[in-house]
Structure 1
Amino acid sequence: MNAVTPRPAERTARPRHYLMCRPSHFEVTYAINPWMDPAKPVDTGLAVAQWERLYALYQELGHRVDLIDPIPGLPDMVYAANGATVVDGKVLGARFRNAERAAEGPAYLEWFRANGHPELHDPEHVNEGEGDFLVTAEYVLAGRGFRSTPAGHAEAQEFFGRPVIGLELIDPRYYHLDTALAVLDGDEIMYNPEAFSAGSREVLRRLFPDAVLADAGDAAVFGLNAVSDGLHVFLPEAATGLADKLRERGFEPIGVDLSELLKGGGSVKCCTLELRPRA
């Protein structure tokens, strides 16, 4: 069990390297999660404008952001976090459960091949990238129950050589781990207990006894679909209660409006794939 440590007096932002995909072809024409409703109008121009603000914020705060070209017919490609998982410079590709997204996995792997990432693994088993794999200092936390599979978790552990901790998701609204949990810094996390099975809640309590806990209201506006650079936490602006808790811990929350992209079941983290270099 990790010991409870004193909360640091000061936080430090560390430059990060992200990959994003502009939502030029974003639309909702099918439903593969509870947030998607093809009957609801989607404003692609608004989705692009909201995404552009997040893209600009990262750069304004000193982070490097690379872009992958969007492909017509792949409206969910904007959710770049699902495209791969990158740890210590090693790239584990994604294999999607739903046929509607299957072509995204090869498209993202091709980007990595073309951009100087030699250590690549094309997976045999279903995993949906950083949708279900979240990296702390010690572990790779891995969601299962709706998308990624235990076999995919084992494949990730073998490839990365890091302990992979499987966590069972039980609420279909929080179908990916990154909708129910976010890594803040090192082994600090925040999460929604109600999204997990009883056993997984106990695992999280043991490993992260000082975690920030989100209430149902902040979870429902995707407040946990967040990105942290160690100081700044980018999260949906509607998650005001969670923002207050983060301030108490010394973080600087930055509210972002990605309401149009929430119609596809994603927000800040879904749009952001972190490229972690070799340690």
Structure 2
Amino acid sequence: MDSDKVLSDIGYLEGCGIILSPEEKAALQTSLILEQTKNKFNRVCFWGKIQGVKRNYYIVVGIGGDQIHNRKYLSSQDCLEWGIMNHVTPDMLFKAQKVKGRFTGDPAFVYEQSESLYTQEASGEPDSSSKIEMKEEDRLAAVVKLVEKECSLVPRGALMKTPLDQVILNGSFEGLSEGHSHKLASYLHLREYTKIDTESSDPAFDFLETLEIDVPKGCWTLQAERGSGLVVLRSLSWIGFSAFHVPNTKKYGYLYFGTGEKNSDLPFML
């Protein structure tokens, strides 16, 4: 959600429990302008809040020329002082999916978790155990990356790919029609993509994957509100991720307000 529109657009997601206090709004409005100037970002978007036991983490995304490849993530615990988050490695992503439990709110906290390795014998008894250690600041960066990969989205047509393979905002985007806005296929994942070969696709707009193909089937809910004047999407895999789009307008965005824990039981709940 663009930093200059947070105060006005966050109201579209109040029904999802996404609310900021007056103090948080005032701090964000001031500090994000300073961060954009300081880091020379083209855009700064408020990403959301991960709730910790002692303190919370606020996350923003600084975006350069390319809307997918030029992204930097910053975190804060007071909405005033921001720091660039650690670079995420494959090992960090692996560990983040193994570590369980709430975030504590202390970036220096170290998680220690044992993982049993089982033999191929019929008894199934563990023959060894490995210990996973991970600092909370590393877990935070990895979880943000995982949520972004699985949930971040834009309406079809909001972004376009240039002949030089750069992804930019589409200045001609005027919003989805009311009919198309009620279809999951009209929303695309905002993440690194692979070439999609379909005869009907437009290479300038249909280069991202749609939410319709996500698994398990049913991991997204789409609901029309305000007399079809607002569409709200929620992820059931990452409880707390919500997105909105106002049909026939340029207004869209998403936020994550949650504990940073994935709902691993979803396949058994559907």
Same fold per superposition (TM over 0.5): no
Output the TM-score relative to the length of structure 1: 0.30
Larger radius of gyration: 2
Output the TM-score relative to the length of structure 2: 0.31
Higher relative contact order (CA 8 A, sep 6+): 1
In terms of fraction of residues, the more strand-rich structure is: 2
